[in-house]
Amino acid sequence: MSDLAQTISEVFRQKKVVIVGDLVADQYLSGTIDRVSREAPVFILRHDETVTLPGAAANAAANVASLGGRAVAVGLVGDDANGRELSSKLDECGVETGYVIASRNVTTTTKVRILAGQVHAVRQQVIRVDYENSKPIADDIRAALIANLRSASEDADAIIVSDYNYGVADHALFETALEIAREREIPITVDSRFRLAEFQQATSATPNQEEVEQLLGKGFSAADCDRLRERFGLEALLVTNGSKGMMLVEAGKPYLQIDAVGSPEAVDVTGAGDTVIAVYSLGLASGLSFADAARIANHAGGLVVMKKGTATVSLDELIASMRADGGFSMSKPAV
Ligand SMILES: Nc1ncnc2c1ncn2[C@@H]1O[C@H](COP(=O)(O)OP(=O)(O)OP(=O)(O)O)[C@@H](O)[C@H]1O
Ligand SMILES: [Mg+2]
């Protein structure tokens, strides 16, 4: 067995992964319950702090960077405070943001979680407020996104398409991504909240259980998944299933059930899917097999759900988790 730690850190380092899709600002506004309002029978929350974290495609990008990959984001934010905050958070995480367009005609997609609690109590989420861009993306911005994707991907080792249905990953952009991946012979992976059927012919996709149920109905089998994989022209389909782990179906191979690792008590499952596609794709970019990339991604997913808010995993944490699990022998990277 190769030394896992060394292999992973060596193969991940400086692999260039382009993440294209919906960049979201995940905002956590926390405050202390002060008193009851006189205007209405409600509590008044005294604001303590607002923290903005990279969400959706931005979260996938942050997760590539935290494991030593070179993450390049391609997407769209508004020329507004949340957009600037999101871009600066991405910079801090080591994600390249030179291909992120900031437009005055767009509102940065922002999900604000209001966290409330008494002075010494744990803050809990009471409501989430979403700011979504309601205007269609203008043609000149669409053209600029495609041009940015082309430039960003020049020396890429993988492309991730992260679609949360906010409009960036349309047909033309996806076709361009496919074309680049074919030309460069690099993997292209897709995570789509509602529209997996529109992203066919990629290398692999990472839908969760519910997203597959929307296509196949409840109680689907591994054989059903394999037919779906074939119908969508994917080499492999990785179905994530929260605390039950994940299942990999790959052309011409028996399916692989991978059990979740870590504590059964997740702290916050937000963004586990983003971590999974980031690590899986970084693995494929590094020439690992689908199975090895999925197993490593499963460890990363198990770690990230133990952290509050949208979060990332470090190489040291990942390696410690894999070692604690007895490690596993990886096939030699193909590149
Ligand atoms: N409670 C948990 N315990 C251990 N591992 C978990 C848990 N929840 C998720 N994971 C890991 O993270 C992976 C992805 O989780 P999940 O299937 O919830 O993704 P998702 O629904 O796409 O998440 P999101 O869209 O919110 O990012 C799982 O396959 C598993 O590896
Ligand atoms: Mg998901």
pLDDT tens digits, one per residue of 45-99? 999 999 999 999 999 999 999 999 999 999 999 999 999 999 999 999 999 999 9
Cα atoms in the 13 Å half-sphere on the side-chain side of 61: 34
Could you tell me what percent of the chain has a pLDDT over 70?
96
Nearest to 130 by CA among 191, 55, 188, 196: 55
Residue of minimum CA distance from atom 25 in ligand 1:
273
Bridge partners of residue 161, in order along the sequence: 20, 190
What pLDDT was estimated at residue 6? Answer: 72
Taking CB atoms and a 6 Å cutoff, what residues make up the pocket around ligand 1? 208, 240-243, 245-246, 260, 262, 266, 269-274, 276, 298, 301-302, 305
Contact between 72 and 17 (Cβ < 8 Å):
yes
Q: If you average pLDDT over residues 226-252, what whole number do you get? A: 97
CA of 191 to the centre of ligand 2 (A): 7
What pLDDT was estimated at residue 332? Answer: 57
Could you tell me what percent of the chain has a pLDDT over 90?
86
DSSP for 164-187? -SSSSS-HHHHHHHHHHHHHHT--
Contact between 326 and 295 (Cβ < 8 Å):
no
Task: Tell me the per-residue pLDDT of 130-184, one tens digit each, with 9 for 90 and over.
Answer: 999 888 999 999 999 999 999 999 999 999 999 999 999 999 999 999 999 999 9
> Hey, what domains does the chain have and what are their CATH numbers?
4-24+55-108+135-324 (3.40.1190.20)
Residue of minimum CA distance from atom 18 in ligand 1:
242
* pLDDT over 80 (residue 327): no
The backbone torsions φ and ψ at residue 36, rounded to the nearest 5 degrees and listed phi first, read: -90, 140
How high is the mean pLDDT of the chain? 94
Contact between 1 and 327 (Cβ < 8 Å):
yes
Name the catalytic one among 274, 292, 316, 325.
Answer: 274
Told to judge if 34 belongs to the known catalytic residues of this protein, a careful annotator would answer: no
Cα atoms in the 13 Å half-sphere on the side-chain side of 227: 6
